[in-house]
Each structure stands twice: as structure tokens, then as C-alpha cells.
Amino acid sequence: MEIAVLGAGSWGATLATLLFENRNNVIVWEFDSIRSKKLQDRKIKPFEAGACLPDGLVVTNGFESFKNSEAVLFAIPSRYMRSTCELLKNKGISLDRKLIISATKGIESNTFLRMSEVIEDVFNGVYKNIAILSGPSHAEEVCRKIPTAIASAAENIKTAEKCRDLFMNDYFRVYVQTDIIGVEIGAALKNVFAIASGIIDGLDYGDNTKAAIVIRGLRELTKIGVALGGKEQTFYGLSGLGDLVATCFSRHSRNRAVGQAVGEGKSPIEAEKSLGMVAEGVGNTISAYELGKKLKIELPIVNEIYAVLFEGKKPLKAVNDLMTGSSKQE
């Protein structure tokens, strides 16, 4: 299949390489023209722990070749989803008859739209062709061909299966389902709890505390997801609990790393800047906090992380308030 991949960061480059090695014709679009040329000339790697891009995989800053693509994969930061879609549309690129795959995790601020909804909002009438690819899958491990399982979700099961067939191989296993809402919410909001997990590391607490954050965080994530129309069972699968565990415990997790830096005393701005990459959980904390208020859902962990990131609350105080709150049934 002719596939256009939007985003040449760690995840975009890794998935593009996987698709290329699965015998597809792949073109990768990189927003930064200077970085695009360096990647095309193989003068740099897509990311520090990544492999060099394979010969034959094209990296471009142009759009002409995308008009003939049969599938488009979005692997860009969620904050740029709308502007990128609008850029494509303004360049005369239609997604009407293409398979659209989103590997972008996030909820748009202010509108609270999921990434599939942002794409539909811009292009109008393509929702049935959108599949979400999500699950516990660090680029640093997938690029080394470490066995990985992930979910492909779409409103139409045949669309999910088309996505699955593109990615499936002997180290990358894809399970299909139709709860696109649950999969997208799980993908976006688990990053909030990864920041909380990192703060626990930064405070030099242990596994007991982190386990509590993970399991109670899963409960908060599920409450939001179900209220928005997701299925409860989805949050106990790959794109819910699976992704949450991987993100909260992994040394590869950029959101956990940001949380750790905050726990060690850095400001949120300093923490994200030192990472050198986008940590989706920072922006998604705002979305989770605002959704909690809008839906009238009690979200103690989300509220404390929001207070730490945006209201100057000390991490130690936030943990203490969580631990000394009124006792309830599990």
C-alpha cells in the first residue's frame, strides 16, 4: 500500500520503518525542512535510541506525493493535530477515500475532542475510515523488534482490520476492536498518571506508592472514559491498563520522566524543556481536570497533579493530601 506518515519523531519514524519493512511504499513527512533533509540524507537518526532509517524510505517536507497515498498515518503531537489537518486540507489533499490511522495520543484542549474527532471536524465525512493504533508500545523497544501487542480500534471493524493487516508481523501483534472512544481516552489520559508515577520516583518513594497511583489512576481514567461513552472493559485491556503500566514504570516514558523531574524539584516548564521532546501528559492534565469538572466526576489524583503542574503546589504536599483524604470503600 502507498502510505504517508505524518511525523518523523520517535513514534512516527518507528512505525514508518515497520510499515516499510512490511513491504509497503512509505513516505514520511517532517514539518521541519532542515530536519527533513538531514533525515533523508541519513545524517541523523530520528531519535537517540532509534535505528537509522532503512534505505528506500523517503523523508520529505513536501505534499505532492501524499495526494496519491492510499493510507495516512498521523504520528504527531496532539497539540498540532488540528493545524496539521488544516495544512493538508489547504494543500488540496483529500482524505475521503483513504485509510486514516491515528497514532497520536491526546485530547484537544478547549474542545475536549479526541484526535479522531479533530480529524473528522476538519475533513468532514471521514470518521468511518479512521482507525486508532494504541497500546503499550515504546518506540525504543519496537525499533529493536521486541515483541509488542497493541490495539487497532475503529467504529467499523473492517477499518480496524485494514489497519491491523498493515502493521501485523512476527514481533508486532495487533488486536482489533470497535470501542474507538475507550481506546482514545485510555491512550490520552494514562499520560497524566504517568506524570504522577514519575513524581513518586522523584520523591524517592517506592513500589507501594506507585502501585496505588496506577490502580487508583486506572479507576479515575475508567470513570472519565465510561462517562464519555467508552466501554469499561476497554480500560482493562491493552490501551487502558496495559498502556498505563508500561508508561508508569518504564525508563522510556517521557511523561514519567517529566514527573520525576518535578518530584526532584524542577518546575514543570524546566522539566519538559530538559526532556527535549513533547510530553503529552502535561496538556492532557488540563483536559482531564476540566473534563472532571464538566462531568462532575471526583478525580483526586488528576486534581492533585493539576495543582502541582499549574498552581504551584508542592509535590510532597499533594501526595500527603491524597493519603490523608477521607477514607472510602474501594
Spatial distance between the Cα atoms of 292 and 270, rounded to a whole number of angstroms: 27
Predicted pLDDT at 277: 66
What is the model's pLDDT at position 148?
Answer: 98
168: Cβ contacts below 8 Å, ≥ 6 apart:
174
pLDDT of amino acid 324: 87
pTM beyond 0.85: the answer is yes
With pLDDT > 90 as the criterion, what percentage of the chain qualifies? Answer: 85
Q: How far apart are CA 136 and CA 238, in angstroms?
A: 7
Question: For residue 117, what are the CA distances in angstroms to 82, 123, 175?
Answer: 10, 10, 22
pLDDT of residue 65: 77
216 burial via Cβ count (<10 Å: 0-12, 13-18, 19+)? middle
Rounded Cα distance, 262 and 308, in Å: 9
Task: Convert the pLDDT of each residue in 39-51 to its tens digit.
Answer: 999 999 998 878 8
Tell me the mean pLDDT in the region 218-230: 96
pLDDT tens by residue, 126-166: 999 999 999 999 999 999 999 999 999 999 999 999 999 99
Catalytically annotated residues: 190
Mean pLDDT, rounded, for 72-90: 95
Do residues 176 and 185 touch, judged by C-beta distance below 8 A? Answer: no
Distance CA 213, CA 219 (A): 10
Helices 254-263 and 180-202, axial angle in degrees (round to 10): 30
The pLDDT-based confidence of 252 (bands split at 50, 70, 90) is confident
Report the C-alpha gap between 163 and 218 in whole angstroms: 27
φ/ψ of 302, rounded to 5, equals -55, -45
Amino acid at 119: I
Joined together, the cell numbers standing for residue 190 give: 494514562
Portion of the chain with pLDDT greater than 70, in percent: 99
Q: Which positions ≥6 away from 43 have C-beta within 8 Å?
A: none
Instruction: Please give the C-alpha separations between residue 90 and each of 5, 124, 208, in angstroms, as whole numbers.
Output: 18, 14, 51
